[in-house]
């Protein structure tokens, strides 16, 4: 493991990289708020587009950000 | 209730069960933070109350069933409520029995659900005659609730001392918004303050990280090491009563019964207390651990369901830690639901029962089967593909959007303010329950004081 990978912090029970967290929060907030503000119709239309926006932000973040976990598989024989 | 609504309830329950089976596994996800915003959003979108209740019950049952899986497999609690079980699950894990703990915990959950639903309806019926008196004194009750919960926290003096100042913060912001004519005089900002309290601890940590000095002193962490153990495949349809021994079923059912009666107390506290109390006499460590986890899981599930159902059926005010937290959306999500007009008023007892049973049965059937059969695969999927950053980002996005919806741009900052204060208090031993109770008691309290 190189040094660059040693700067994660524990937030809410799991390890995160601050820069990635910033990217993900920015994406989700931008899409959710953007969806809400730019929605054309009457209430509850903005809320629906906002929620969809949030989920889109979540999906993009999940694709571009790698989880900070090392998973070792063990067989059930120990 | 016609067929269309019932069909919608079934679909919503399936959606809730699948979604919260995945969320339940993600480490550290707090029940209030993951359930309340989604429920509130659904209410505000205008989804029918029947569908919302079925969705919520299904979600909470599924979440409760699965948040113990990472405990068993990796020793990481999948939620706040799973934390007391880590110790016992680790005993089983060290004996090479993680799949046993998953099965025992899930079966305990099933028993908890089955016991708590009828008990909740029974207790609700007993309280019902006094409901009007109780709601008349709601402000006072919330205030005493705050005092009572404050006395149960680790930092009693601080918890008591912040009751009035925190109420001032809440009411101060509301009056500011009214004064600036950002919100009409008949609208009380609630949802965003509630979410502000919920995300408080995360928000506070994030702001601390902006401090360079603080960041330097943080221990630099690498990847989180997670050891997954593949469990053996179960065949056929699992039966919780065969998985648990008679004694385990009995203590799990008894724990669930007590958990339902004490619906107004803190579920985590009761789980730790009763779980230890009921299993203390068992000598063999493996037997003791498996008895403890099945009992605890049943109890948490039961106290969650009863904490939602009893106030919902009998009073219509959120008078339990569960109801002011994760289930808050069912009681108060203005402008759609208010304390005077919510699921309690919209649905009859029979309708609440139908929605509950549909939600619970679907979640049990889907999630129980999935957890028993595919627990390690789901765990691997969540750990491998869902970054923690994306989950936090999603909730940040939801909170900011709902804050903007409540009272415009300025309220995004108002919510940050509430979150920072709550986070600071939370960090110093004031728990969510106290803060939520103050949020409800604030208008009454300041009315009395001024």
Residues 38-77 of A with CB under 8 A from B: 44, 46-48, 50-51, 53-55, 57-58, 61-62, 65-76
pLDDT for B388 equals 84
- Percent pLDDT > 90 in chain B is 29
3-state DSSP of B424-443: HHHHCCCCHHHHHHHHHHHH
Q: Which of B436, B187, B132 is nearest to B307 (CA)?
A: B436
Rounded to 10°, the helix B246-261/B285-314 angle is: 30
pLDDT for B354 equals 92
Mean pLDDT score, A4-16: 73
Judged against a pLDDT cut of 50, whether residue A2 lies above it is answered with no
pLDDT for B79 equals 65
Pseudo-torsion of CA B14, B15, B18, B23, nearest 10°? -140
Question: How large is the C-alpha radius of gyration of chain B?
Answer: 21
Q: Which of B192, B162, B166, B163 is nearest to B177 (CA)?
A: B192
pLDDT for A1 equals 43
What does the mean pLDDT of chain B come to? 85
pLDDT for B309 equals 93
Mean pLDDT score, A52-59: 90
Which residues of chain A does B46 touch, with a Cβ-Cβ cutoff of 8 Å? 44
pLDDT for B74 equals 66
What does the mean pLDDT of chain A come to? 81
Q: Which of B381, B382, B296 is nearest to B89 (CA)?
A: B296
Q: Which residues of chain B have pLDDT under 70?
A: 1, 27-29, 74-81, 83, 98, 228-237
Residues 2-31 of A with CB under 8 A from B: 5-18, 20-21, 23-29, 31
Rounded to 10°, the helix A45-64/B31-45 angle is: 140
pLDDT for B120 equals 93
Q: What is the interface pTM, i.e. ipTM, of the complex?
A: 0.90
| pLDDT 10s digits, B295-351 | 888 888 898 899 999 999 998 888 888 888 889 899 988 888 988 889 999 998 889
| pLDDT 10s digits, B356-372 | 999 999 999 888 888 87
């Amino acid at each position: 493991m190189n040094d660059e990978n040693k700067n994660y912090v524990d937030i809410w029970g799991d390890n995160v990289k601050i820069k990635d967290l910033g990217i993900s929060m920015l994406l989700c907030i931008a899409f959710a708020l953007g969806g809400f503000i730019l929605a054309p119709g009457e209430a509850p239309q903005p809320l629906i587009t906002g929620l969809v926006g949030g989920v889109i932000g979540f999906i993009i973040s999940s694709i571009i950000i790698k989880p900070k976990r090392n998973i070792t598989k063990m067989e059930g024989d120990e | 209730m016609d067929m269309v609504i019932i069909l919608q309830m079934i679909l919503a329950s399936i959606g809730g069960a699948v979604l919260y089976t995945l969320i339940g596994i993600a480490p550290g996800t707090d029940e209030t933070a993951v359930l309340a915003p989604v429920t509130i959003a659904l209410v505000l979108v205008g989804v029918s109350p029947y569908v919302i209740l079925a969705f919520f019950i299904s979600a909470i049952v599924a979440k409760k069933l699965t948040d113990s899986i990472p405990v068993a497999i990796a020793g990481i609690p999948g939620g706040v409520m799973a934390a007391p079980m880590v110790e016992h699950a680790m005993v089983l894990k060290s004996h090479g029995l993680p799949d046993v703990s998953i099965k025992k915990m899930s079966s305990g959950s099933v028993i908890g659900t089955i016991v708590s639903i009828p008990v909740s309806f029974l207790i609700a019926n007993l309280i019902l005659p006094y409901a009007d008196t109780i709601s008349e004194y709601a402000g006072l009750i919330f205030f005493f609730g705050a005092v009572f919960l404050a006395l149960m926290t680790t930092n009693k003096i601080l918890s008591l001392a912040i009751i009035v100042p925190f109420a001032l913060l809440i009411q101060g912001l509301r009056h500011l918004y009214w004064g600036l004519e950002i919100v009409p005089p008949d609208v009380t900002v609630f949802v965003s303050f509630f979410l502000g309290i919920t995300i408080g601890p995360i928000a506070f940590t994030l702001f601390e990280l902006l401090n360079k000095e603080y960041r330097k002193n943080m221990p630099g962490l690498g990847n989180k090491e997670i050891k997954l153990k593949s469990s053996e495949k179960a065949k056929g349809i699992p039966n919780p009563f065969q998985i648990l021994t008679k004694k385990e079923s009995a203590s799990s059912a008894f724990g669930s019964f007590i958990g339902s009666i004490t619906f107004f107390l803190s579920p985590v506290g009761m789980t730790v207390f009763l779980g230890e109390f009921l299993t203390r006499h068992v000598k063999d460590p493996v037997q003791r651990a498996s008895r403890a986890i099945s009992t605890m899981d049943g109890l948490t599930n039961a106290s969650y369901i009863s904490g939602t159902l009893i106030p919902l059926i009998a009073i219509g005010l959120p008078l339990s830690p569960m109801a002011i937290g994760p289930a808050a959306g069912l009681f108060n999500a203005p402008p759609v639901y208010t304390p005077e007009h919510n699921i309690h008023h919209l649905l009859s007892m029979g309708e609440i029962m139908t929605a509950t049973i549909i939600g619970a049965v679907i979640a049990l059937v889907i999630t129980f089967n999935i957890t028993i059969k595919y627990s390690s695969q789901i765990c691997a999927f969540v750990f491998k593909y869902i970054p923690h950053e994306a989950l936090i980002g999603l909730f940040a996005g939801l909170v900011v959007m709902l804050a903007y919806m409540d009272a415009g741009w300025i309220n995004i900052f108002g919510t940050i303010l509430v979150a920072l204060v709550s986070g600071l208090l939370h960090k110093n031993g004031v728990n969510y329950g106290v803060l939520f109770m103050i949020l409800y008691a604030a208008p009454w309290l300041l009315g009395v004081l001024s």
